[in-house]
Structure 1
Amino acid sequence: MSAVEKFMPLLNEAEEENVTPTPCFTHEGINYLYIRHHNLYLLSLTKRNTNATEILLFMHKLVQVLTEYFKTLEEESIRDNFVIIYELLDEMMDFGYPQTTETKILQEYITQESHKLEVQARPPMAVTNAVSWRSEGIRYRKNEVFLDVVESVNLMVNAAGNVIRSEILGAVKMKCYLSGMPELRLGLNDKVMFETTGRTSRGKSIEMEDVKFHQCVRLSRFENDRTISFIPPDGEFELMSYRLNTAVKPLIWVECLIESHSGSRLEYMVKAKGQFKRRSTANNVEILIPVPEDADTPRFRTSTGTVQYAPEKSAIIWKIKQFGGGKEFMMRAELNLPSVKGEQVETKKRPVEIKFEIPYFTTSGIQVRYLKIIEPKLNYQALPWVRYITQSGEVTLRIADNPASASAASSIVPRLLRLLRHSNNAIAAYYQAIQKP
């Protein structure tokens, strides 16, 4: 207990010295390994030279289990459920060795009702089976598998319009409603697989990095021939995740022109363009445009969607329910600045943020080649469903440090008019009208 009491002082001391604390450190012969979840620290101590990755992974699994039991994991939920946490720890680890860490199996014999614990006399067979993540005897009238390939795009564009950071974070999520103990085999358009097996790819192949699998996947099989073979857990789970550190162009491009009028009024002219395939459609698009904190009396005009002023975020939010590929839309906003005097208006260097979701589309080009379902005992026909979704992660586009003057704006407006002339005559006429004094 004396070693535990030294943990927080050691962390505070590192912060005072401006030293970034690592998840593992040693003090007086004791190894401290910890993770942080919101305002909680989970700490493990050992005097041996143990596997640090295993300990950290176990603590992450513990957070996942407790979150699924209590919905939110915080100090109050730990105090209210101390008994069940004690019982869960007893089942999840024995003598320093991790045991059952799958929530669905734990919930079969450790149930929670009004902070009371009920433990069944005999644990389910899954705990003693080689397949500890799936129970035996599962039966469904209709056998189905739903597979979602979800990709999040992280993108940062500087004020000059150059992409300075881009990556794709992907995940393959599954919902399995299958009887018995089926074996599934998943094939992707994996570049390494084509190279190792000597096969040729008809379409595009991708090279995944930082691949992480659910514990049900047979890693030895994947390392040998890149086949993803597994007996799935029942219900919903994440089969794998991956990363692609590849150059990605912005799927929705935003140009923002800011015109200052005598330092007391700002005019924003925003153009958004969909830079993805015309047959695809982005849903629930949100474009967040930063404005000065003391702005008031907003007035908006837009060719599509709705615009609202969010003073708590010091931003204008432009919402477009459906944004077709290759389409362009315009929005104009006027804001008063009662507390600002002078010709120039200083603004904080905050970027434009974009949120969206594009179904049936992947940025990386990943493709499910096949999904085989084998259950020799029951020998049933199952229906696999595959869906692709691309969504925004952290997509930010930086704008100029200061608003443009009226003279600078006048040189850009004709260029915007030329871009719009062939696509939207009505808006072009509108922008010609606002140039008049």
Structure 2
Amino acid sequence: MASVVAILDLKGKSIIQRTYRDDVPASCIELFLPLIQGIEDEGQQVTPCFSNMGINYIHIRYSNLYLLAVSRRNSNAAEIILFLHRLCQILVEYFKELEEESIRDNFVVIYELLDEIMDFGYPQTTEAKILQEYILQEPHKLDIVRPPQAVTQVVSWRSEGIRYRKNEVFLDVIESVNLLVNASGNVVRSEILGAVKMKCYLSGMPELRLGLNDKVMFESIGRTSSDKAIDLEDVKFHQCVRLSRFENDRTISFIPPDGEFELMSYRLAQAVKPLIWVEAAIDSHNGNRIEYVVKVRAQFKRRSTANSVEITVSVPEDADTPKFRVPTGKVHYAPDKAAFIWTINKLGGGRDLLMRAQFGLPSVRSEQDIGNLPAPITVKFDLLYFTLSGIQVRYLKVVEKSGYQALPWVRYITQNGDDYSLRTALEKGSAPIVPM
């Protein structure tokens, strides 16, 4: 439970706050930033939760704002931190951008939201789609007759009476690959971040059951775990999933929200073979001209195709007069990024491609300076109908009391993560260089 919830600027000044209990002094909000500065001055790390004079401060930072909850009691800190993150999501849903100006322009709406999402310090309805049914984004005073029925039910994320002519459910398994390859060509860091995203256009109050090739589930039912079973880590679910049932028999059972949402996310810290391998050879001509040969290899099955492949190779910041020879795709020079970008619309599995680039150098460089890439090669891509982890949807069942038939659609996507980079480079001049 929280006594006060406040949003502060970076100077520690309260922009807006809501008091739910009268057991903490109003001055505690003003003490928040000096307390943080005092902790930093002592050389200690500021944690999301700390106490002072019997008062608990729990906070998160979003952009240039602090979201702070204050309590005198022994509150559930993890729950309050989760609540503050949900508050951020709700405000972004309403105002698109969460910043000091948007808060000052929408005091009325924010106070209405703070009254609805928390009662006497206890979190209540935190589903943005349900809140938007009766708290509208209007600058004037709102005319609220009564809350929707979903607020008074156990299923607070879905309204009653939803009807569709065609009942469909779309499920996307999206995996993002992060990896780092060192100069020796070895993968030094890799991980898979996965998410199961859904779009549900279903009538009534349906219950869905999702089955995955989960290793723990196979073992719990006495089935021999095959090579195709995977061991999910750091699994996080949407609030609609019945966690008790998942813990008992690993069944993912839920009543879905209407429309688009993320059902679950997971992580796999396993050794990953680069799906798209890129290396570059560099050659210098008297230190005033530099040539690159970039080779890309698709290291996935031939029946698969990577879409929107984008390879970024760094060059010296003062490079000029670019010239390119490329058999497939397009290349353009991005001087603001000090790099050239090779774009390939479709890259088939098992293919090798080669492109050449040439740049002039206004100032003469040494051989040692030219022989190294200023920054690692980065790769972006989308690979449809493929998952690196091997996760599979074994079944997706829709059960609704009216007995209608729903059409489930399942799609697999693998793409680059926030950090897919290769520091590999062929030995200087090891690839053939031909005149441009």
What residue in structure 2 maps to residue 427 of structure 1?
none
Q: TM-score, normalised by structure 1?
A: 0.89
What residue in structure 1 maps to residue 428 of structure 2?
409
**Alpha-carbon distance in structure 1 between the residues aligned to 2:259 and 2:325:** 47
Deviations 1:162-212 (A, max 9, x none): 001111001111111111111110000000000011124566010000000
**Which among 291, 297, 307 is matched to residue 331 of structure 2?**
307
**Alpha-carbon distance in structure 2 between the residues aligned to 1:127 and 1:228:** 24
Residue range with higher mean Cα deviation, 285-294 or 261-270: 261-270
- Describe how 1:60-71 pairs up with structure 2 within 5 A: 60-71=85-96
**Alpha-carbon distance in structure 2 between the residues aligned to 1:312 and 1:272:** 24
| Secondary structure at the counterpart of residue 248 of structure 1 | coil
In the superposition, relative to structure 1, how do residues 334 and 98 fare at CA in structure 2: closer, same or farther (>3 Å)? same
RMSD of aligned C-alpha atoms? 1.9
**Alpha-carbon distance in structure 1 between the residues aligned to 2:422 and 2:39:** 35
CA contact (8 A) 1:260 1:344 kept: no
Identity across the alignment (%): 68
Deviations 1:85-107 (A, max 9, x none): 11001000001100000011101
What residue in structure 2 maps to residue 428 of structure 1?
none
User: What letter corresponds to residue 41 of structure 1 in structure 2?
Assistant: Y
In the superposition, relative to structure 1, how do residues 171 and 262 fare at CA in structure 2: closer, same or farther (>3 Å)? same
What residue in structure 1 maps to residue 196 of structure 2?
172
Q: TM-score, normalised by structure 2?
A: 0.90
What residue in structure 2 maps to residue 194 of structure 1?
218
Cα distance, 1:344 vs. partner?
3.6
CA contact (8 A) 2:298 2:352 kept: yes
User: What letter corresponds to residue 354 of structure 1 in structure 2?
Assistant: V
CA contact (8 A) 2:317 2:335 kept: yes
CA contact (8 A) 1:263 1:345 kept: no
**Which among 144, 150, 158 is matched to residue 120 of structure 1?**
144
In the superposition, relative to structure 1, how do residues 129 and 390 fare at CA in structure 2: closer, same or farther (>3 Å)? same
* 1:34 matches 2:59: yes
In the superposition, relative to structure 1, how do residues 397 and 341 fare at CA in structure 2: closer, same or farther (>3 Å)? closer
* 1:353 matches 2:353: no
**Which among 270, 287, 290 is matched to residue 263 of structure 1?**
287
* 1:97 matches 2:122: yes
The aligned length equals: 409
CA contact (8 A) 1:111 1:119 kept: no
Deviations 1:265-299 (A, max 9, x none): 21111100001111111000111111111111111
**Which among 237, 241, 251 is matched to residue 227 of structure 1?**
251
Deviations 1:104-160 (A, max 9, x none): 1101111123x2342421111111111111111111111111111111011111111
**Which among 333, 340, 357 is matched to residue 316 of structure 1?**
340
Residue range with higher mean Cα deviation, 183-192 or 331-340: 331-340
CA contact (8 A) 1:281 1:323 kept: yes
**Alpha-carbon distance in structure 2 between the residues aligned to 1:61 and 1:357:** 30
Cα distance, 1:75 vs. partner?
1.0
**Alpha-carbon distance in structure 2 between the residues aligned to 1:341 and 1:130:** 69
**Alpha-carbon distance in structure 1 between the residues aligned to 2:44 and 2:320:** 43
* 1:391 matches 2:418: no
Deviations 1:351-406 (A, max 9, x none): 11110001111110100000111112x11111111111111002011146xxx9xx
User: What letter corresponds to residue 311 of structure 2 in structure 1?
Assistant: I
What residue in structure 2 maps to residue 50 of structure 1?
75
**Which among 390, 401, 405 is matched to residue 365 of structure 1?**
390
**Alpha-carbon distance in structure 2 between the residues aligned to 1:116 and 1:18:** 47
What residue in structure 2 maps to residue 88 of structure 1?
113
Q: Which has the higher helix share?
A: 1
User: What letter corresponds to residue 6 of structure 1 in structure 2?
Assistant: L
What residue in structure 2 maps to residue 426 of structure 1?
none
